[in-house]
Amino acid sequence: MTARITPRNAAVVALLIILALVPVYCALTGGTFALSLFTRIVIFALAAVALNLVMGFGGMVSFGHAAFLGLGGYTVGILAKEGVGSGFVQWPLALLVSALFALGVGALSLRTRGVYFIMITLAFAQMAYYVASGLDRYGGDDGLTIYHRSTFAGVIDLSNKTQFYYLCLALLIAAVYLVSRLVNSRFGLVIQGARSNERRMRALGFPTFRYKLTCFVISGVLCGLAGVLLANHTDFISPAIMHWTRSGDLIVMAVLGGMGTVMGPVIGAVTLLLLEEGLSRVTEYWPIILGPLILLVVLFARGGIDGVLARPGRG
Amino acid sequence: MLYFIEQCLNGVQLGMLLFLLAAGLTLVFGIMDLVNLAHGSLYMIGAYFAATFAALTGSFVLAAVLALIATLVVGMAVEVIVMRRLYGRDHLDHVLGTFGLILFFNELVRLIWGPAGMTLPLPAEMLTAVQVLPGIYYPVYRLVIIVVTLAVAAALYLFIMRTRIGMLIRAGASNREMVGALGVNIKLLYTLVFGLGAALAGFAGLMQAPILTVQIGMGENILILAFVVIIIGGIGSIRGAFVASVFVGIVDTIGRAFLPDLLRTVLNENAAATLGPSLSSMLIYMLMAAVLVFRPEGLFPASRR
């Protein structure tokens, strides 16, 4: 396969270079704000990539993916509060919790389809939200401050902003690579086949339910990982991270960038969060611009930003 | 026992309010096949209009009427400007587009009315409580909500089942191309239905406003409840929405009132105190998940072919 220089490839490469150079820029200018912002962006990009796996490739519109952010984050937060600070315990456990939740939710939700699937995933996320609100020992509605980031026995120091940023970026790239390999594998083709015509896939002898459930679990685990990173980034976790509008944000990122493409969600997350940041400097009332902007993308830019970049030049 | 009856009444009252929201949502959903997350924004706008008009006119009833008209107009404008372009699109596009609308409306309200909430004072005669059963006193206003909403539900039923426009709406729900082909102005019909749904949402907002404060984002959590209602009731079914509203209202209220005490009898004090509130908040979502698992189309699926 020869890589041609298209606007899309150029944009992706430029984006990756920019992401890789953010700490350098911060080191040169001495500010850490951009680093913190981009850490957040990279983490949300990871969550959007996870959501895109089920939504873009699997056609399963989950309106409850913020629950996984919360599960990952809360596992870290609760263990930290109980004195278990080692990332070697926290992280695998957080991923396990996310996987189990995804397995349970997926097994029940995948019996429905269409808008019912949207709503049932939302319902499960709401349940997780209320469980977190009720955890009085862990801050309840007010949330829980995490006093120590996960420790990795000297392998990597998460309190070092640059090291943490590169860890997040590495995990994001690994996730994107995983998704790109996955969707082009036999497994991925079955998933995409089930999206376009599930009955036909079943007639061909594929147990689509099991494939979709596996896909949902993988996505949940990746999103849980984003939650783990987010908790470590903000040193704080609260039920607000699982609010349904957060799930909406993730959907916006995936669709804005271009659903069902490997890099789309990354582009979407970068665009949305930078846009929020930029607009909030222009006006205090920035959502009044962002809202209609999202609407315009829905109405006129099908395929998102990636779709616009991939479109052959007109004329 | 008295407490139980009182809580049941509270449940019915919440159910009635949910019905007002859910009816509009399910109409728009069933007829235009549109998932409208911004329905909660119309609820909020109704409440803000009512509070504003009440401050201007000094009359609660007049304010309510003006607010209803204003919300109807806003709803129809939203339909003409935005929603019309979303029909026939993927549900995901609806979720996304109307999510953008929520951001817009929340900010617009902040811009116009400021970040602080508002209150909608009740007229003095509604502040009293009446004896509904021997020994049970119940606030007049909550009774008013129940009665007025029942009247609205009845009127809506008659409108949908007994009038010509209602007939067209039902026809549009089962086969929109055919209705269009028969020369009905389906665009106008849709605008009307959306406006009606908006007015119902605004009505719910203004009825709830005196009980809670009028604030930004007030529609977001209740919107999710309304979605639970229409999913349980079956999308597109007004009757299902009515039954499910009352059901959800009572389950939610009774759960909140009694579940913590009930847990205390089987668990220790600490565990019950932690578990009680979350479990009662989760109750209706569990209910909905259970309904979807066993009846994936809701309890009263609107017949379609």
Measured at the CA of A104, the angle between CA A100 and CA A106, to 5 degrees, comes to 110
Model confidence at A1, in pLDDT bands (50, 70, 90)?
very low
Task: Judge: B292–A119 Cβ closer than 8 Å, yes or no.
Answer: yes
Task: Judge: B92–A122 Cβ closer than 8 Å, yes or no.
Answer: no
Best residue of B92, B221, B288 to probe chain A, by most A CBs closer than 10 Å: B92
Q: Residue A84: which domain range?
A: 40-243
Residue A314: per-residue pLDDT: 41
Nearest CA in chain B to A300: B85
Task: Write out pLDDT tens, residues B194-244.
Answer: 999 999 999 999 998 888 888 888 888 888 889 889 888 888 788 889 999
Q: Does some domain include residue A315?
A: no
Nearest CA in chain A to B284: A123
Of A315, A308, A314, nearest to A8 (Cα)? A308
Burial environment of residue A198 by CB neighbours within 10 A (0 to 12, 13 to 18, 19 or more): middle
Q: Does some domain include residue A119?
A: yes
Beta bridge partners of B136: B133
Residue A44: per-residue pLDDT: 96
Task: Judge: A122–B99 Cβ closer than 8 Å, yes or no.
Answer: no
Of B28, B24, B33, nearest to B90 (Cα)? B33
- What is the pLDDT of chain A when averaged over all its residues? 89
The Cα A203–Cα B165 span in angstroms is: 44
Task: Judge: A116–B97 Cβ closer than 8 Å, yes or no.
Answer: no
Task: Write out pLDDT tens, residues B126-180.
Answer: 778 888 777 778 888 888 899 999 999 999 989 988 999 888 888 887 777 888 8
Model confidence at A255, in pLDDT bands (50, 70, 90)?
confident
Task: Judge: A112–B273 Cβ closer than 8 Å, yes or no.
Answer: no
Whether A313 has a pLDDT exceeding 80, the answer reads no
- Going from the C-alpha of B143 to that of each of A201, B14, B147, B150, B172, the distances in angstroms are 55, 11, 6, 11, 35
The per-residue b/e assignment along B211-249, b for 16 or more CB within 10 angstroms, e otherwise, is eeebbbebbbebbbbbbbbbbbbbbbbbebbbbbbbbbb
Which of A39-53, A246-260, A296-310 has maximum average pLDDT?
A: A39-53
Burial environment of residue B149 by CB neighbours within 10 A (0 to 12, 13 to 18, 19 or more): buried
Residue B303: per-residue pLDDT: 56
Touching B: A residues 166-195, CB under 8 Å: none
Q: Does some domain include residue A256?
A: no
In the predicted model, what is the mean pLDDT of residues B239-262?
89
Residue B302: per-residue pLDDT: 65
- For the full predicted model, state whether its pTM sits above 0.80: yes
Q: Where do we find the tokens 């992280």?
A: A91
Measured between CB atoms, which of A131, A251, A291 is closest to B107? A291
Q: Does some domain include residue A19?
A: no
Tokens of B31: 């007829």
Whether A217 has a pLDDT exceeding 90, the answer reads yes
Residue A311: per-residue pLDDT: 64
Task: Write out pLDDT tens, residues B37-75.
Answer: 999 999 999 999 999 999 999 888 899 999 999 999 999
Q: What whole-number percentage of chain B has pLDDT above 70? A: 99
Whether A315 has a pLDDT exceeding 70, the answer reads no
Of A224, A182, A194, nearest to A60 (Cα)? A194
Task: Judge: A122–B96 Cβ closer than 8 Å, yes or no.
Answer: no
Nearest CA in chain B to A59: B92
How many structural domains compose chain A? 1
The Cα A53–Cα A250 span in angstroms is: 12
Chain A CB contacts of B286 under 8 Å are 127
Residue B1: partners with Cβ closer than 8 Å, 6 or more residues away: none
Chain A CB contacts of B235 under 8 Å are 115
Is beta strand A144-145 parallel, antiparallel or unpaired with respect to A236-237? antiparallel
Which of A235-244, B115-124, B230-239 has maximum average pLDDT?
A: A235-244
Measured between CB atoms, which of B100, B105, B231 is closest to A116? B231
For chain B, the distance separating the N- and C-terminal CA atoms, rounded to the nearest angstrom, is 47
Model confidence at A179, in pLDDT bands (50, 70, 90)?
very high
Measured at the CA of A46, the angle between CA A43 and CA A47, to 5 degrees, comes to 95
Task: Write out pLDDT tens, residues B291-302.
Answer: 888 887 778 876
Chain A CB contacts of B86 under 8 Å are 298-299
Model confidence at B32, in pLDDT bands (50, 70, 90)?
confident
Q: What whole-number percentage of chain A has pLDDT above 90? A: 57
Q: What are phi and psi of A246, to 5 degrees?
A: -65, -40
The Cα B305–Cα B302 span in angstroms is: 10
Measured between CB atoms, which of A108, A130, A298 is closest to B97? A298
Q: Does some domain include residue A196?
A: yes
Q: Does some domain include residue A182?
A: yes
The per-residue b/e assignment along A251-268, b for 16 or more CB within 10 angstroms, e otherwise, is bbbbbbbbbbbbbbbbbb
Chain A CB contacts of B105 under 8 Å are 291
Task: Judge: B100–A298 Cβ closer than 8 Å, yes or no.
Answer: yes
Task: Judge: B282–A248 Cβ closer than 8 Å, yes or no.
Answer: no
The Cα B71–Cα B202 span in angstroms is: 6
Chain B CB contacts of A301 under 8 Å are none
Q: Are A64 and A242 in contact (CB under 8 A)?
A: no
Secondary structure of residue B136 in the 3-state scheme = strand
Q: Does some domain include residue A89?
A: yes
Of B201, B224, B258, nearest to B47 (Cα)? B201
Q: What are phi and psi of B136, to 5 degrees?
A: -110, 115
Q: Does some domain include residue A279?
A: no
Residue A230: per-residue pLDDT: 96
Which of A7-21, A36-50, B110-124, B126-140 has maximum average pLDDT?
A: A36-50
Chain B CB contacts of A107 under 8 Å are none
Burial environment of residue A192 by CB neighbours within 10 A (0 to 12, 13 to 18, 19 or more): middle
Touching B: A residues 276-305, CB under 8 Å: 285-288, 290-295, 298-299
Task: Judge: B97–A294 Cβ closer than 8 Å, yes or no.
Answer: yes
The Cα B158–Cα B164 span in angstroms is: 11
Of A276, A308, A303, nearest to A289 (Cα)? A276
Task: Judge: A133–B277 Cβ closer than 8 Å, yes or no.
Answer: yes
Cα-Cα-Cα-Cα dihedral of A244, A247, A252, A254, to 10°? -170
CA distance B41 to chain A (A): 13
Secondary structure of residue B133 in the 3-state scheme = strand
In the predicted model, what is the mean pLDDT of residues B97-118?
91
Task: Write out pLDDT tens, residues A118-150.
Answer: 988 998 998 899 889 888 888 888 899 999 898
CA distance B47 to chain A (A): 20
Domains of chain B: 2-294 (1.10.3470)
